[in-house]
Amino acid sequence: MARAFTEEKWEQLSLIGEEKEPTTTDGSNGSAFSDPAFVGNKLLPVHRWVPWIAGFSSSFVRDALDRHLPHKGTVLDTFAGVGTTLVEAILLGHKAIGFEINPYAALACRTKLNACQIRVEALRDMIERLKVFWKDKVSIDYTPKSTPPNGFKTRADFYSPKVLHKVLIIQDFIDAIKDTSLSDLFRLAFASTMVRYSNYSYEPSLGRRVSAGREEIDDFPVFQTILDKLREMEEDIVWLQASLPQGTPSSQVINDSFLRYESHLSASSVDLIITSPPYLNNYHYNRNTRPQLYWLGYANHPQDMRRLEYLNFGKFWQTVRELKCVDLEFLAPQSDLAERLSILRALNPDRGIYGGNGWANYAASYFNDCYRYAQRIQYVLRNGGTALVVIGNSILQGISIPTDQYFGEIAATVGLKVVEIHMPRTTRVGNSIIQSDVRVAKAQKSHRLYEAVVELRRP
């Protein structure tokens, strides 16, 4: 049926979302919002604690809070990541709630939010104890009690013998910390630096250093690296506590999927949602944090990772590519999404699971979750409440998928008003996503990746 479309119609469908190219000198690209890219957080207090492949800048969140929530209210991030929205919310005195399925990211959120109650003197004392412990253990023929996680398997040694010995000494010290809030800080200091001294790196997916043309690491100043991170945390906690408004801000981090919101949130209980769901790019956040999940004790077996895959927003291409046909589970009369997926499904049938059918299944699964997600947004928002959803488009088998446009159309079917689709970032890097040979048809030069903010309101 899809092959009945004319070449002109196919070209029109493949280029939707590619027309606008606004530019301004202030970096906003004509949008009401600044560029939401996370890169700006790398040097900022608290936000810099954990490097993250995705997320938005603190300035974007602060701008959104100032515009849409001038009074004190409840702010929700349904895909909290490492907590940018939540930290900015409490700094302005709002109640902050975050959902995050990845236990490592949830730990980062919790630790940042709990930092407002950390006793700085207790942290300084624990850092001094670490220095004494390290000096004592590293100077003798010490056999650590800690061992690498049994279920963590890699193609090559994750750590060299010298580095592993140092890491296990650090683990012995962390395991002996009784104060949970301090223990979490030390665990996060390790987890946020652990790949830096391993034989793996992010390119942007986790892979062996040698595969990226880098030498393996025989030795590394592990203790000094973790100590520097702890000193950074100490400095930022002093700043955070001095920057908070009077009174202890209310916050909650829920290590679960927002699609299972029923047991956590009441109807009409949220004033503002600022969030960014996973993009339609098949990036595997959970697998790329596998070292942290195992070393922190959140995973002991591949089955633990499969649970996270099940909870993920949208299915991964690898899990649906062999299915005969995944259909859309909703009706969107004003949308051409169904016909675009039909065109995608018909492409390259000779390539089997690498052809269009598998990618159409992947996209249909993603938009089915968008529909469920929109329903839940409509449920938790108060009347007049706003949701700002940062989302990027995608290109599958050479066909442009304007995800922002489709998400807005889906949201309208559940009763949400699409106020505007802002375009603060008209280009984003993504060659590893759209130029891969596994997509069969690479992106045309006229196609580009962008990032949009879908502004929704509950009437």
**Close Cβ partners of 198 (under 8 Å, ≥ 6 residues apart):** 158, 159, 163, 217, 291
Tokens matching residue 389: 């959803």
* Residues near 431 by beta carbon (within 8 Å), at least 6 away in sequence: none
- Identify the band that residue 259 occupies on the pLDDT scale cut at 50, 70 and 90: very high
pLDDT in the model for residue 284: 82
Q: Say yes or no to pLDDT of 145 above 90.
A: yes
| Alpha-carbon span 277 to 411, nearest angstrom | 14
Spatial separation of the C-alpha atoms in residues 89 and 250, rounded to whole Å: 10
Give per-residue pLDDT as tens, 240-249: 999 999 877 8
HSE-up of 433 (CA within 13 Å, CB side)? Answer: 21
- Give the model confidence (pLDDT) of 381-433 as tens digits: 999 999 999 999 999 999 999 999 999 999 999 999 999 999 987 766 544 33
pLDDT at 50: 95
Exposed / middle / buried, residue 350 (Cβ in 10 Å: 0-12, 13-18, 19+): exposed
**Amino acid found at 251:** S
What pLDDT band is residue 444 in, cutting at 50, 70 and 90? Answer: very low
For residues 46 and 50, give the distance between their C-alpha atoms in angstroms, rounded to a whole number. 9
Q: Is the pLDDT of residue 54 over 90?
A: no
Side chain identity at residue 416, one-letter code: L
Q: Which of these ranges, 93-107, 157-171, 305-319, 334-348, has the smallest mean pLDDT? A: 305-319
For the chain, what percent of residues have pLDDT higher than 70? 86
**HSE of 96 in the Cβ direction (CA atoms, 13 Å)?**
28
Of 34 and 338, which is predicted with more confidence?
338
Mean pLDDT of the chain, nearest integer: 88
C-alpha–C-alpha distance, residues 454 and 457, integer Å: 10
Cis upstream peptide for 204 (omega within 30°): yes
* Torsions phi, psi for 275 (to 5 deg): -160, 170
183: Cβ contacts below 8 Å, ≥ 6 apart: 174, 177
Residue 153 structure tokens: 């398997």
Q: What is the tens place of the pLDDT at every residue in 179-236?
A: 999 999 999 999 999 999 999 999 888 999 999 999 999 999 999 999 999 999 999 9
Q: CA angle, corner 22, sides to 19 and 24, nearest 5?
A: 170
In the chain, where are the structural domains located? Answer: 61-308
